[in-house]
Amino acid sequence: MNMPLAKAKVGQRAIIKSISGNEKIRNFLFTLGCCEGEEITLISALGGNYIVNIKDSRYAIDKRMANAIELVEAG
């Protein structure tokens, strides 16, 4: 299963396979601890805003960033 974070179900845990997008997006996500091989959980998705859990911290990202994060199934 490969899919962008924007298509994940709420509560789903997955592993980050890759991060696409421009350098600004990739650098911002990296500062959140969002990098390849890291586990991520989608907490909620409302109105194009996504709340994610990475390394025991919660962050809000927009749909463009959620689409830049490619996931594989945790497990």
Return the higher-pLDDT residue of 44 and 75: 44
Closest CA to 45 of 66, 25, 28: 66
- Residue that the structure tokens 């859990």 belong to: 53
**Confidence at residue 64, expressed as pLDDT on a 0 to 100 scale:** 95
Which sign does the torsion angle of CA 3, 63, 20, 33 carry? Answer: negative
pTM for this entry: 0.92
**Confidence at residue 75, expressed as pLDDT on a 0 to 100 scale:** 73
Structural domains of the chain, ranges and CATH numbers in brackets:
2-73 (2.30.30.90)
Rounded Cα distance, 61 and 48, in Å: 9
Average confidence score pLDDT of the chain:
94
Alpha helices by DSSP H, listed for the chain, are 23-31, 63-68
